[in-house]
Amino acid sequence: MHLILFLAFGAVCVAGAVNLLVQRHPINSALSLVVVMGSLAAEYLLLGAEFVAAVQVIVYAGAVMVLFVFVIMLLNAGEEEPTKGSRVAMLFGIPGMLVGSLLIAWVLLQHSGNQSVAVGALPGPPKTIGWLLFHEYLLPFEATSVLVLIAIMGAVVLAASPESLGRKE
Amino acid sequence: MVPISYYLMLSGILFACGVTGFLIKRNIITIFMSIELMLNGVNLSFVAFAAEWKALSGQVFVFFVMVVAAAEAAVGLAIIIAVYRTRETLNVDQVNLLKL
């Protein structure tokens, strides 16, 4: 049952990722990225990482992707037309990706043990993760708050129009 | 029961798709989405290893990666808006100066 669920959500995940590459219009790519993130959240749930699954849906599929869709609609992004550079990149990129993924799969199959996980194998309930976050990882946690503050200020400064900042150009 | 290597293979496939998108796409927003796809692949491998070693630190690191990715998305999309305002294009082939 676990294997069937894993394969089903994994197939949806890979199909979304491939669709992201195939689609020409950015809004279609963004929606297939939402599909990838949603099915990844299901994979996290299968591993027993409820906290990560919830954060994945709230932060990634919710906040980040809404930001992406807003920017795509704000800039009225149209279909991309392939250029000479992108054809050359496709010529080398797709065989390179196939070779790279085969290499990764081969190394993993050779060197990983035969250890398997059952449904919900991860021991941590969200309570334990919260405890870890506020005791052992308190300093990195506080550093991320500064990082987010800097990101907010940077986004406001970068996206503001030059006139509103009082620049003379 | 699912072997851990299956999860790692899925994360490798997602990462490879992200790299390919980064290489073959010419729209700056799609390139940015490919980067998010790569980050997602890495997150899955973090959680898979956390399950293998019964360690909780992997989940905490996924949380940190997500925070950094959210901050990166906010700043990156602001840069994309600034680039579009001055260049009127989203094609990376036509953007060859860092200067605004």
- Asked whether the beta carbons of residue A115 and residue B59 sit closer than 8 angstroms, the reply is no
| SS3 state of residue A107 | helix
Helices (H), chain B: 4-24, 28-53, 57-87
What was the pLDDT predicted at A166?
Answer: 65
Amino acid found at B6: Y
Distance separating alpha carbons of residues A131 and A135, to the nearest angstrom: 6
B35 touches chain A (CB under 8 A): no
Q: Which CATH class is domain A2-122?
A: mainly alpha
What was the pLDDT predicted at A49?
Answer: 86
Distance separating alpha carbons of residues A50 and A92, to the nearest angstrom: 39
pLDDT 10s digit of each residue in chain B, 100 long? 788 888 888 998 899 889 888 888 888 899 999 999 999 999 999 998 888 888 888 889 999 999 999 999 999 999 999 888 888 888 887 877 776 6
Residue-by-residue DSSP string for B20-42: HHHHH--BHHHHHHHHHHHHHHH
For residue A102, the chain B residues in CB contact (below 8 A) are none
What was the pLDDT predicted at A39?
Answer: 94
What was the pLDDT predicted at A114?
Answer: 66
Instruction: Tell me if ipTM is over 0.85.
Output: yes
**Domain extent listing, chain A:** 2-122, 137-169
What was the pLDDT predicted at B32?
Answer: 92
pLDDT 10s digit of each residue in chain A, 169 long? 888 999 999 999 999 999 998 888 999 999 999 999 999 999 999 888 888 999 999 998 889 999 999 999 988 877 777 777 777 877 877 888 788 888 877 887 777 666 777 776 677 788 888 898 899 999 999 999 999 999 999 999 888 877 776 655 4
B60 touches chain A (CB under 8 A): yes
- Asked whether the beta carbons of residue A115 and residue B64 sit closer than 8 angstroms, the reply is no
**Domain extent listing, chain B:** 4-94
Distance separating alpha carbons of residues A28 and A26, to the nearest angstrom: 5
A21 touches chain B (CB under 8 A): yes
Interacting residues of B100 by C-beta distance below 8 A, sequence separation 6+ = B82, B83, B86
For domain B4-94, the question of CATH label 1.10.287.3510 is answered with yes
A124 touches chain B (CB under 8 A): yes
| Least Cα separation, residue B100 to chain A (angstroms) | 11
B73 touches chain A (CB under 8 A): yes
What was the pLDDT predicted at A76?
Answer: 82
From A121, A128, A151, residue closest to B74, measured CB to CB: A151
